[in-house]
Amino acid sequence: MALANVWPLDLTTGQPTASSVPAMADAKSFVQFVKRYGPLPPRPEEQSLGLPGHRETFENPVAFGEIQLVLRSAWRGDNSAIDLIAAEDQETARDRWHLFLQNKAESAGIERKTFEGSPIEWSPADPIRARVSVGTNLEIVVEDLWSLIRLLFLQDHRGDRTRICNNEKCLAPYFVQHRRGQQYCGPDCATAVASRRYRQKVKKALKRLQQEERARAVDAMRDGKEGGNY
């Protein structure tokens, strides 16, 4: 949820955005995310040595923005993005990932930055990495943060719990529903929308009252004039 909700900068407008559009991570929120949760790819010490390029690529704000775009699109129900998250077809995963981002960039009218030239050992398009540990309890151990995020997302998506907050001004609209029919990410948004609607209703009622008042005043004036003719 946190990854979907970090605000990146829209690549066409340069403004922070919560929509699923091509974006690059805003440096400050990106650093905050990594500090709090760790990097998305496997930590360098868990990687075999001699992988030039992989760190700089995946600590790159544009790459982070692309990973986020795929997750946000999946959250909004885009089936091809959900396929990318599941990464079941390992042979074509990287190509399909590239194609998806290429299409998104084209429809936004921007050129996609690619990182060709540096060998990329780790790719967000790769299958979810996890191993099973059979102890007293059966445990699934995920090997990197991006794998964990995908597993959790898929679990919530299959359970029909991934939702977008109904408050159009919500700052963190991607949420997991905890009860059936939940429309808002939390009580703050529910209250904000309710009070916005209430204010609009009051405003409308006031306007109607004023119009009626004015109409009555005009009537009264006309009556007065007509009365004066007698």
Q: Which residues bind Zn ion (CB under 5 A)?
A: 165, 167, 170, 185, 189
| Residue from 17, 3, 87, 24 nearest 100 by CA | 87
> d(Cα 81, Cα 70) in Å, to the nearest integer?
6
Judged by beta carbon, residue 142 or residue 190, the one nearer Zn ion is: 190
> d(Cα 5, Cα 204) in Å, to the nearest integer?
34
Least Å distance, CB 188 to Zn ion, is 7
Judged by beta carbon, residue 5 or residue 57, the one nearer Zn ion is: 5
**Where do we find the tokens 């919560």?**
18
Least Å distance, CB 204 to Zn ion, is 25
**Where do we find the tokens 């075999």?**
48
| Residue from 8, 141, 14 nearest 63 by CA | 8
Judged by beta carbon, residue 4 or residue 189, the one nearer Zn ion is: 189
Question: Which two three-digit tokens encode residue 98?
Answer: 């590239």
Three-state DSSP at 121 gives coil
> Given phi > 0 = left and psi -120 to 50 = alpha, else beta, which region is 19?
beta
Judged by beta carbon, residue 25 or residue 185, the one nearer Zn ion is: 185
Any bridge partners for residue 8, and if so which?
A: 25
Judged by beta carbon, residue 149 or residue 185, the one nearer Zn ion is: 185
CB-based contact 175:165 (threshold 8 Å): yes
Least Å distance, CB 40 to Zn ion, is 24
Judged by beta carbon, residue 105 or residue 170, the one nearer Zn ion is: 170
Least Å distance, CB 94 to Zn ion, is 34
Least Å distance, CB 4 to Zn ion, is 12
Least Å distance, CB 132 to Zn ion, is 36
